[in-house]
Amino acid sequence: MALYDLDAVHSQLGFSVRHLMITQVHGVFTKWGGTFSIDPADVSRSQVTVEIDAASVDTRNAQRDGHLRSADFFEVEKHPAIRFVSNRVEGSGASFRITGDFTLRGVTKPLVFDVVAAGPSKDSQGRGRLGYRATSRINRHEFGVAWNAVYEGGALVVGEHVELVLDLQLIPR
């Protein structure tokens, strides 16, 4: 078992959600971190915790980002953090699943991430690196994020499901 630090420069925590039911709007969180205890020989022993600063949401639109921080969505004044804590890792090789508790707006529900591993590799200074892409999907209504509007023709402004994508590059401590 080894401890790893997140290389924030080469990692991203993103999401996407339907807009007007015709396209996906993409966003990221710019402030987040975690603890990564990984056993590459037996991933079932690994543990992951990720904590996100909900106010750091960035969809490249200041007005939309402000709305996402409001009580209609993340309600960051009451719920400043979004959190994931693993409690089971299953699989082997380059593909596995991480199950854990996901907390958004004070509501905690089980969530499963499908994970694909890349590496190990070495950087220009010869330091080891591990890479992972973790994907999942949540129903935002289950976490009390229910705001929506209906436009002409019945199109909902915001889709019900949110796709989560974590691209992680980790460095051994």
Q: What is the CATH number for 34?
A: 2.40.128.110
Least confident stretch, 15-24, 77-86, 138-147? 15-24
Alpha-carbon distances, residue 75 vs 19, 68, 70, 71, 126 (angstroms): 20, 8, 5, 4, 43
Please report the pLDDT score of residue 41 as a whole number: 82
Q: What range does the domain containing 93 cover?
A: 2-172
With 0-12 CB in 10 A as exposed, 13-18 as middle and 19+ as buried, what is 82? buried
Residues paired with residue 26 on neighbouring β-strands, in sequence order: 16
For the chain, helix, strand, coil in percent to 5 are 15, 60, 25
> Token digits for 166?
């974590």
Record the tokens describing residue 104, joined without a space: 């958004």
pLDDT for the residue 119: 77
What is the count of structural domains for the chain?
Answer: 1
| Eight-state DSSP code of residue 156 | B
pTM given for the model: 0.91
Phi, psi of 66 (to 5 degrees): -60, -40
Task: Please compute the mean of the pLDDT values over residues 124-138 and round it to a whole number.
Answer: 93
- Count of Cβ atoms closer than 10 Å to residue 127 Cβ: 11
User: Residue 172 to residues 19, 37, 121, 124, 168: CA-CA distances in angstroms?
Assistant: 39, 10, 12, 15, 13
State both tokens at 12: 């991203």
